[in-house]
Amino acid sequence: MIASAKLVLLQLEIPIETVIAAPRIAKEAGAAVILDPAPARCLPEVFLKCADYLTPNETEIAILTGAAPGLMTRTTARDPAQKLNRRGAANVIVKMGAQGALLVGPDREHFWPALEVRAVDTTAAGDAFNAALAVALAEDKSVIDAGQFATSAAACSVTRSGAQPSLPTRAEVEAFTRSNSSIDKQP
């Protein structure tokens, strides 16, 4: 199944043997790999090189790079993201909660500001972001458009309680996006 996939989304809550094998199989078959390094732990360089998109949050990027823990901004997230680029991650998308998300790649940088919502429960925001990012990339959307869709999905998810119950459907994300006039599409 992995070899026939267009895109593989992984996180570290499954057996590490699977997390190590899956991206190798995916890359050999030409699939893109999104790795959410959660729960955070040190990762070998060879593993980072398999990630087309590495999507750490603020805590995870601090653990992966030795950066100062705590809230990050667009400016303070750039250096640790570039460190992960140099270690082999093709693109790093730092999820910074209410601060937004920052993409840092070898030839580009893009920032998606967080959408203003009344947050009820942030438990599944990162999962919503990654799932929406994967869906949009698998549909051949640009990473910029995929990140905007992911930002909307994450914002929508925090408006509800619970992990699974807060994950929005595509229709809910699209309706949320239409109703939110503060979405900033940057070039």
**Which residues are catalytically annotated?**
127
Residue 120: CB partners within 8 Å, gap ≥ 6?
158, 159, 160, 161
Find, among 32, 14, 13, the residue nearest to 23 by Cα. Answer: 32
Find, among 128, 69, 58, the residue nearest to 95 by Cα. Answer: 58
User: What does the alpha-carbon distance between residue 12 and residue 148 come to, in Å, rounded to a whole number?
Assistant: 24
Q: What are phi and psi of 22, to 5 degrees?
A: -55, -50
Q: How many CB atoms lie within 10 A of CB 135?
A: 18
Kindly list the distances between the CA atom of residue 84 and the CA atoms of 24, 36, 149, 160, in Å, as whole numbers in the listed order: 19, 13, 24, 33
- CB-side neighbour CA atoms (13 Å) of 82: 9
